[in-house]
Each structure stands twice: as C-alpha cells, then as structure tokens.
Chains A and B, each alone.
Chain A
C-alpha cells in the first residue's frame, strides 16, 4: 500500500534561509506526487506536482521539488524563506489503484523567524 512520511512535524527557519521539507513515499507503481500548502483556517492549495517527465518541478511562490526515484523522495525546497511562507505543508502520493485518490503525509508546520 502507498504511504507518505514527512520527516519533522515542525521546521523553523530564519527569514532568508533555505527551506527544506522532507517527504519520502512508498509506491508499487510510478507515483504522482504533490505538495500542498495550508494557511491558517483555510483549505489546501496546490504548490506543485510531479506526474511524468522532468524530475525537478517548479511551483508557486518560489518553491520547487525534485523527484528522486532511487531515494523514493520528493523533498520541497525554497532558496530564501519569507515570513508569508509560514504555513502547514502536506506531501501526497497518488493511490496505485488509479482511482485518483491521494494518500497524505502527516504534515509539516513551517515557522519563519524574523
């Protein structure tokens, strides 16, 4: 069965520092992978996704993620954190049954310090 593990439930960085949020997945089929962001009291918004093709995926707000099949990872990065990046981030993998269902990780709360 598919699963997603996000390492670190809370990550704290200084404004301007590198953001690295880790995501590892297990999947028996080539996965579709997603990162979503959730701002306080809001729904989830797609940051970026990997389906096929280029393994380095660029998303909104300067975020990017790299699909590494050998490491079963899809880590999210941003070169320079901004205060507005403070939010909860979820990694998700598509279900192997091809129904479109997503399996979500537990989430990582990003704190950005001034």
Chain B
C-alpha cells in the first residue's frame, strides 16, 4: 500500500498562475484533509471532506478550491496564486475519529 500520495513534490509558480495539487489514498479513508504548514504556525486546515461528495471550509480557505473526485482522490486548486500562498501543503486521510495519515507534502513557491 502506498498510503497517502501527493503530486507534485515541488512547484514554482508566478503570481496569477493556477495549479492543482493532487492527493490520493489507498487506505479506504472516508475523510480527507488539506493543510498548509508555515514556520511557527503549525498546520492550518484549508478544506476537508468528511465523505465522498462533500467538502467544507477549514480555517484558511480563501484563495483555494477543492474537489473530492471519488473516495480515493482529493485535489486542491489555486486559481490565481499569490506570494502569500507560498507554503508546504499536506494532504491527510482519516477513518472515523482516529489518527490522520499524512502524505509527504508539496513545497510550493509563488514568485
């Protein structure tokens, strides 16, 4: 089992460009999450999906959109990237109220 995978691992964008971060899990998790990690701020929740077909905003949703394509996949889209979105992005999956399993992360730089 691959667990939670994320693509790409690294990305550099120019201000105003768009891109989609991909996340897939093979652990049969119902819930999936997108976080951003910035120095000194821990992990902040962007969006989450409690089940296939549902999505909800987290703490910092502005500038992002998500799609829960099916049970396995949960993508994060930046429509018009801004330098403030330079961060490390993590996807996670979860079954019930137990632990979350994290992907390896995507390092995004917006110039």
Measured CB to CB, the residues of A under 8 A from B are 9, 32, 34, 36, 41-46, 49, 51, 90, 94, 98-102, 104-107
Contacts and interface: CB of A to CB of B under 8 A. Distances in A.
A49 B42 contact: no
Interface in B26-63: 31, 33, 40-45, 48, 50, 58
B42 A43 contact: no
Q: Lowest 7 CB-CB distances: which A-B pairs, in order?
A: A43-B102, A104-B42, A44-B102, A104-B43, A106-B42, A46-B99, A43-B104
A99 B33 CA distance: 11
Interface residues of B, number: 25
B25 to A, nearest CB: 12
Given A32-B97, A101-B33, 19 more contacts: A42-B105, A43-B105, A44-B90, A44-B100, A44-B102, A46-B99, A49-B98, A49-B99, A90-B42, A100-B96, A100-B97, A100-B98, A100-B100, A101-B45, A101-B58, A102-B45, A102-B100, A104-B43, A104-B44
